Amino acid sequence: MATNEAALEHLRELRDSVNDAINTVGAWQSYGSKFTSGNQTTELAKVTTVPTARQHASDCAICTAWDGSVRA
């Protein structure tokens, strides 16, 4: 069984990864034309390549095993 703490940490990691991608797209919208060609390639890869941290299986062991127990 996954504890509340384990589930929270797991979801925080997913949230942080998605927030990083959102920030990258925002930066691209603001500054993309000012990037060098090498930096453009690097910045595009941050969004178009899905990092392991953002890959989430429907049968995720932490999410499906979360016991939801309430701790005082």
Note whether residue 55 is domain-resident.
yes
Number of domains in the chain: 1
Structural domain containing residue 24 = 4-65
Give the dihedral sign, CA 55/57/58/61: negative
Note whether residue 39 is domain-resident.
yes
SS3 40: helix
Q: What is the value of pTM for the model shown?
A: 0.69
pLDDT at 57: 79
68 conformational bin, left if phi > 0, alpha if psi -120 to 50, beta if neither: left
Note whether residue 70 is domain-resident.
no
pLDDT at 9: 92
Tens-place pLDDT, residues 15-54: 998 898 899 889 888 988 888 888 888 888 887 877 776 7
